[in-house]
Amino acid sequence: MAREDQWLDEEAGPVVRPYALTRGRTRPAGEALDLIALVTAVRGVEVDTVGLDPEHLALLQMCRLPTSVADLAADLDLPLGVVQILLADLRARSLISVHHPTLPARLPDPQILREVADGLRRL
């Protein structure tokens, strides 16, 4: 059908309910936020709430201490993709700092895995 050729963009408004919060965006801006990246609210900055939703502010509250993206999505009970976009918004405003996980191949010392195995034995 000819309708297959029609494209909707952000101007058309949200086409998927959970993405109403993200104004229809389905991909975050900037570098991807890994599930286990640790997010921390930047302290001592005046938060200009214009353009921020209650969910943005809730996220800022939740990550006053370093918290993983997965934990934030579970705490906020929103789909992961939505939370990643909201966090990217906060990052773009320099309201959060993101600690990206170290890739296993880039661990400064693989022996840290020995410590992990020993720690598990104590469980």
Partner 1 sequence: MAFGGSETYGRDPGEAPVTIKILIAGGFGAGKTTSVGAVTEIRALRTEEPLSGPGAYVDNLDGVKQKATTTVAMDFGRITIRENLVIYLFGTPGQERFWFMWDELASGALGAVVLADTRRLADCFPSVDFFERRRLPFVVAVNCFDGARRHHPEDVRSALDLDPEVPVVLCDARQRSSVRDVLIALIEHALRALQRARAAGTNA
Binding site for partner 1 (CB under 8 A): 3-4, 6, 8, 15-16, 18-19, 26, 34-38, 62, 65-68, 70-71, 73-75, 79-82, 99, 101-105, 107, 110-117, 119-121, 123
Question: Quick one: 21 or 95, whose CB is closer to partner 1?
Answer: 21
Beta carbon nearer to partner 1, 92 or 116: 116
Tell me if 38 sits within 8 A of 59, measured CB to CB.
no
Least distance (Å) between residue 70 CB and partner 1: 6
Shortest distance (Å) from residue 50 CB to partner 1: 27
d(CA 106, CA 59): 30
- Least Å from the CB of residue 4 to partner 1: 8
- DSSP code string of 24-93: T--S-SSS---TT-EEEEPTT-----TT--HHHHHHHHHTSS-EEHHHHHHHHTS-HHHHHHHHHHHHHT
Q: What is the smallest separation between the CB atom of 48 and partner 1, expressed in angstroms?
A: 26
Tokens describing residue 121: 């034995």
